[in-house]
Amino acid sequence: MYRVCFVCTGNICRSPMAEAVFRAQVREAGLDGLVETGSAGTGSWHLGDPADPRTSDVLEAAGYSLSHTARLFEPDWFDRHDLVVALDEGHAAELRAMARNPAEAAAVRLLRSYDPDSGPDELSVPDPYYGGGRGFARCLAMVEAAVPGLLSEVAAAVGAREAG
């Protein structure tokens, strides 16, 4: 099983959105049972909460399903995940600081780094929490633009494991 965890601040907006989009694309690619996905936050403010209603609304409107309870990323989770995908550069820095060795730090990637149209200064998905619905729609568009590139990398890794 190849495991991917998406990480944002409170695990109620961006990371559950990325999780839902990625899970749907994994299913469409026929990789169910080979790829497992989840999400977590770097902060504990929303532990146990469902996704922000605006996240749920934008996902539902786009045809994605999500059942979610906010969790906190713990350093020992690096042992259980092949890839830890941060939604912004601050999350990536926090995750790399949590890493216990260089291999764990190398498992941290920025989601938008998989979007071929993102420039080097555009790798963060902005936090929509303090804005309105348009920010959530913009966030979803960024996630949807990056997930195909991520899925391509994950599918190649899964294929290599299956062949090896």
Residues with catalytic function: 8, 14, 127
Q: How far is CA 32 from the centre of its chain?
A: 17
Backbone conformation region of residue 67, classed left if phi is above 0, alpha if psi is from -120 to 50, else beta = beta
Within 16-115, strands assigned E span 35-41, 83-86, 108-110
Q: What is the DSSP letter of 160?
A: H
Question: How far apart are the C-alpha atoms of 108 and 28, rounded to whole Å?
Answer: 25
Question: How far apart are the C-alpha atoms of 109 and 138, rounded to whole Å?
Answer: 21
24: Cβ contacts below 8 Å, ≥ 6 apart = 64, 65
Question: How far apart are the C-alpha atoms of 160 and 117, rounded to whole Å?
Answer: 27
